[in-house]
Amino acid sequence: MTMIRKTLFGAALMIPATLVWAQAPKAAAGEITGKVTYEGAPPKNKILKMDADPVCASQHPGPVSSDDTLVGPGGGLKNVLVYAKAGVPAASIPPAPTTSVKVDQKGCIYTPRIVVVMVGQPVEFSNDDPTNHHIQAMAEVNKEWTVSQNKGTAPQSVTFNEPEVGILTICHLHPWMRMFIHVLQNPFYAVTGDDGTFTIKGLPPGYYTLEAWHEKLGTQTLKVKAGEKADFTFKAD
């Protein structure tokens, strides 16, 4: 009788553990976490041809690859903007920050490649290269912005007054230089890191339409509740 009781008691203890393991993990309340994955063989990024300006090439010890599609271990996709496209209550949107989001030009490369600001928040460009640059933000909804920035000169700033995702920004003197500015109405966004993961914090309770944007692979949308997880998968063509 004792043996039977022990057996039944042990089985009862195992059942809840099995149920817990079967549950999908959740994000913390007010957060949406997830991962953006690239499915398929990672693409081979092109080698940038910097021969047009020897000053640029001399700042790198070897060839420099384009960073337009960066796939990490486990297929994580870097530099994907994930943001709340719809569902954000107007009362939860704070004023735009007055601090600038900074972009550096170093080694004739824009760093970072992706920046995100709210409407009216400045973007500041610095030139740390011993050569000149000519910046052009090729906005379509907002007014296009272009400015020359010679070596050793002060930073240049720009603000955008309308939401616009994916403003391609180039340098007329160095055609391989590319980056993107995203102008959003709200602060609920994240840019994926090396492993493709992201966390959007501070969300009020409710359902949101998230959009994942990548410069070459396009966009995907997903409706998700605050506190849940959201994963996106982009596939090779």
The 8-class DSSP code of residue 75 comes to G
* First and final C-alpha spacing in the chain: 65
Architecture of domain 25-93+186-237: Sandwich (2.60)
> How would residue 22 be classed by pLDDT, with cut points 50, 70 and 90?
very low
Which pLDDT score, from 0 to 100, does residue 73 have?
85
Q: Where are the domains of the chain?
A: 25-93+186-237, 100-185
Which pLDDT score, from 0 to 100, does residue 236 have?
80
Q: Is the pTM of this model over 0.75?
A: yes
Please write the tens of the pLDDT for every residue from 133-156.
Answer: 999 999 999 999 999 999 999 999
Whether residue 3 has pLDDT greater than 50: no
> DSSP of 78-111, one letter per residue?
PS-EEEEEE---GGG-PPPPSSPEEEEEETTEEE
Which pLDDT score, from 0 to 100, does residue 27 have?
63
CA nearest 226: which of 79, 88, 90? Answer: 88
Which pLDDT score, from 0 to 100, does residue 8 have?
38
Rounded Cα gap, residues 111 and 196, in angstroms: 18
Rounded to 5 degrees, φ, ψ at 221 are -125, 155
- The single residue listed with the structure tokens 């740390």 is 128
Whether residue 2 has pLDDT greater than 90: no
The 8-class DSSP code of residue 60 comes to S
Interacting residues of 142 by C-beta distance below 8 A, sequence separation 6+: 160, 161, 162, 164, 167, 183
The 8-class DSSP code of residue 174 comes to -
H or E stretch at 18: helix 2-22
Whether residue 48 has pLDDT greater than 80: yes
> How would residue 25 be classed by pLDDT, with cut points 50, 70 and 90?
low
Please write the tens of the pLDDT for every residue from 68-114.
Answer: 999 998 999 999 999 999 999 999 999 999 999 999 999 999 999 99
Is there a common fold for 25-93+186-237 and 100-185?
A: yes
Alpha-carbon separation of residue 40 from 46, 47, 75, 156, 237 (angstroms): 18, 21, 8, 40, 9
Q: Pick 100-185's CATH classification: 2.40.160.20, 3.30.70.150, 3.40.190.10, 2.60.40.420.
A: 2.60.40.420
Rounded Cα gap, residues 84 and 224, in angstroms: 10
Whether residue 179 has pLDDT greater than 50: yes
Alpha-carbon separation of residue 154 from 97, 126, 150 (angstroms): 22, 7, 9
Rounded Cα gap, residues 138 and 149, in angstroms: 17
Residue 39's CB is within 10 A of a number of other CB atoms, namely 11
What is the mean pLDDT of the segment spanning 204-215?
97
Whether residue 6 has pLDDT greater than 60: no
Rounded Cα gap, residues 89 and 160, in angstroms: 22
